[in-house]
Structure 1
Amino acid sequence: MDTRRDFLQKLGISSLVLPFMPLSGLATTKTEKLYDGPVLRVAIMGLGGYGTRVAEAMKSCVKAKLVGVISGTPSKIKDWQAKYSIPEKNCYNYENFDEIKNNPDIDAIYVITPNALHYDQVIRVAKAGKHVICEKPMAVNAKEGQEMIDACKKANVKLLVGYRMHFEPKTLEVIRLRNAGEFGKIMFFQGQCGFKIGDPAQWRLNKKLAGGGAMMDIGIYAINGSRYMVGEEPVWVTAQETKTNPQIFKEGVDETIQFQMGFPSGAVASYLSSYNINYLDRFYLVGEKGFAEMQPSTGYGPIKGRTHKGELTQPHITHQTVQMEEMAGIILEGKEPIVPVNGEEALKDLKIIDAIYLAAKTGKKIPLKL
């Protein structure tokens, strides 16, 4: 059965007929049927800036719908109720959200809270019998990540992680080209991710809430990006940390880390993760037969890229809209994404981050087994 999403993929992604028109702006045509399949009913936990971005993007979804909220701030709940027509019975706080197990109108919870809170909240959601979408990093270390995976498996619910780039059209085109052999044997990857952070009092600079610093927030993009662009799992890592302002970047909160990884084929990678350098959002992949460059590579878009064959021209559609549509398909229809977004995928990034911190601390080359 044709669906609205199928139609958009045919027109918006394959033929690029409507490259920048939002999903909600497309009129029904004779070849399109209004979507009448299952809809993933989602509650967002954490009503901050990114939670708002996801909520706005979901207005254009047809397979996913925002139906509930979880927040510790009553005024935010009231605002979201009015803005998104959320019924009172679907509103919870951090103390009582376990009661969501008795609410048949909510299928999944999207956890968008500070990193260190994910562990407890995801496990509680799983015990409540709801599917989980968790922002990255999934946890603050691999031990917690594994326990979250185990809890979701025990509860027989899905655990997905907010890797929006795994659905981004230009990113997927680079992966397709690599799989088709267009770059030849991959030799080198470079990933640069960073920005100069603002408010020194924010939670991202609080070790107890963030679990680290720039690496947990922005460096993870370069780690994950190298894995899907190189197409292999790294086998070793080395790292060097630089800290110029210990008053802002306190113990356990990394300011800038340079790190390197090696892959089984012999490909090597170089990375820069920073909270003190602007304009870092670039991936560069080099093979024996060609290259791919993306800059910006992970921002909210539009992503820009080129290869030795020319500019990448795939359309920009709001990342969070595509992500939620595709995740609805994964949860409700058993779809398999080109690049995984499950807990096991996120656990690999956490293992690498653990090793990077250890390498930076010890100065040693740390073997990886993912």
Structure 2
Amino acid sequence: MKITIIAGARPNFIKIAPLIKAIEKKQTEGSKISYRLVHTGQHYDKNLSDTFFEELNIPQPDANLEVKSGSQAEQTAAIMIAFEKELIQNPCDLVLVVGDVNSTMACAIVAKKSNVKVAHVEAGIRSGDMTMPEEINRIVTDSITDYFFTTSTTATDNLIEYGAEVSNIHFVGNVMIDTLYQNLNRILAPTFWDNFGLAKGNYIILTLHRPANVDEEKSLIALLQGIDKMVGDQKIVFPIHPRTKAILGENKLDLKNTILVEPQGYLNFMFLIKNSFAVITDSGGISEETTVLNIPCFTMRNNTERPETQTIGTNTLVGTSIENLEKVYAEFLLNGPRKAGIPELWDGCASERIIEILLKK
């Protein structure tokens, strides 16, 4: 079996790393399976792409499509044009896509139009919010996928409701958690750790990148100032996304507690999360990692495609207003962290299950 694996953005790199390890393990056991790694170039900042390949011991891509940025349509079209040429030159039996970025949808469409089967890792998750580009990517990808690999029974139920063939849906667990477990003994403090007087439990991690939170300059500044004031004497470590940084421009933010740092590599970022007091984010994936690491997480969104991080894990949805965040955070300080657990099959073995299943197809 020849598999082409697609990686386009930071979360993709974290998800493909254990899949490649699982394939290579099967190769040593004599299985007839090979892979070709295609990096679409959707993320081209070194700290958002190359660093993850180095830190997670992912082989250098066999091809980099180098599509870079553009509007949703421009980027999707550029990926499709480049990947079609790649697939013609390097035929395969299966295209494996992960997550929900533009690369996921674009490469799935190209594969199906080329009569190549598609496997979608992290299939079936839904936020119900059609204003999110990722939600459209998920729905389109799942509508043409052949083999669905889900992280939760909720995702499986979503696919069944949409009419997917039950025999092609496989609840396998979470490959992001595979990567976390495989690297927990390798995480390390960032170079600024001592410079800023950081210590276990004396800071909060903040990440913001979604349009609802960062696209409007004045509201973004007000949000940052509100969070800075809310935390009292706690420090805030804010790895600032390039897009968010561009929106802030040269504004003087007047933040007493907030430390702005560059985007972090995986090993540094997981160290920061593991040793934090809490996380405030608008990311979906980070709530999975905080759940396993048992770190309180406050997600600044009105919905989540990962409900298990709320019902079982440490995640709390707080909406996009600073007023609601302040209320929920005050309750957290008063009552302490709520009891949480780890969702079913988030055990570090999802990737091995996926490759085992594909070898039987």
TM-score range, shorter chain: 0.3 to 0.5
TM-score by length of 2: 0.36
TM-score by length of 1: 0.35
